[in-house]
Structure 1
Amino acid sequence: MVAADPSLLDLMIALIPAAIAASNPVVVLALGTATMLFGVPSF
Structure 2
Amino acid sequence: MHKACFNSSRLIVDSISKSEDYSTIKKYFILIYCIFFLII
Q: TM-score, normalised by structure 2?
A: 0.50
- Point out the structure with max Rg over C-alpha: 1
* Distance in structure 1 (CA, Å) of the matches to 2:17 and 2:2: 22
* Distance in structure 1 (CA, Å) of the matches to 2:30 and 2:15: 14
SS in 2 for 1:25: coil
Gaps of 5+ in 2: 32-40
- Percent identical across equivalent pairs? 0
Q: TM-score, normalised by structure 1?
A: 0.48
- Segments of 4+ in structure 1 off by > 4 A? none
Which is richer in helix?
A: 2
* Structure 2 residue 4 is matched with structure 1 residue 9: yes
